[in-house]
Amino acid sequence: MENDNTRPSRRAVLGMFATLGAVAAAPVYAKAPGFLKRSGDIRRVRMYSQRTGESIDTIYYVDGKYIPEVLNEVTYFMRDWRENKTMKYDPRNLDILAATLQLMDTTEPYLLISGFRTAKTNRMLKGAASNSFHMRAMAADVRLKSRSVGHISKAAFACGGGGVGIYNGSNFVHMDCGPVRSWRG
């Protein structure tokens, strides 16, 4: 295999296999920097979408570098399915999602409720913020079968990486890589 900047090195691939039992993922600006040091800096995200029937379970960051092809796959996965439109998804939010999953010590994938949204889709959703980070491809609304909204939101808060919205009535948590803040919906 050629060693170019678009593929992980042989060493990185071997490192992935060596650390699969304890994959560490966290935003570099998080309050929990120990994640980055515990087993190397390999970041993984797991999600599925009932809307499209698609799923993603992938390592998107190895040896200090995001993997461009994988980020393209994530961008497509996070698309506005109503409009079938994409916007380059912000990898900082992937870091928050991955770190939150790691903190909860689960391999269960997130159920993606909403990723990127066009302005048109955002306007049609009741209660959506007019300046939503979803329209900038910097947010995701997710849930887990095995964890409560309270559990997910506490883990997201612990990452200290952006906004966390708690939607108990709709059974999901909003995470974005904007300013650190929280709210209840």
Segment 63-75, tens digit of pLDDT: 889 999 999 999 9
pLDDT of residue 118: 97
Asked if the model's pLDDT at residue 155 lies above 90, the reply is yes
Segment 107-146, tens digit of pLDDT: 999 999 999 999 999 999 988 888 999 999 999 999 999 9
Segment 73-95, tens digit of pLDDT: 999 999 999 999 999 999 999 99
* Rama region for 40: left / alpha / beta (φ>0; ψ in -120 to 50; rest): left
Segment 1-50, tens digit of pLDDT: 333 444 444 444 334 433 333 334 434 444 433 444 444 688 999 999 99
pLDDT of residue 18: 35
Q: Are 95 and 26 in contact (CB under 8 A)?
A: yes
The structural architecture, per CATH, of the domain 10-184 is: 2-Layer Sandwich (3.30)
Q: Within 13 Å and on the Cβ side, how many CA atoms surround 18?
A: 11
Q: Within 13 Å and on the Cβ side, how many CA atoms surround 49?
A: 20
Indicate the domain borders of the chain.
Answer: 10-184
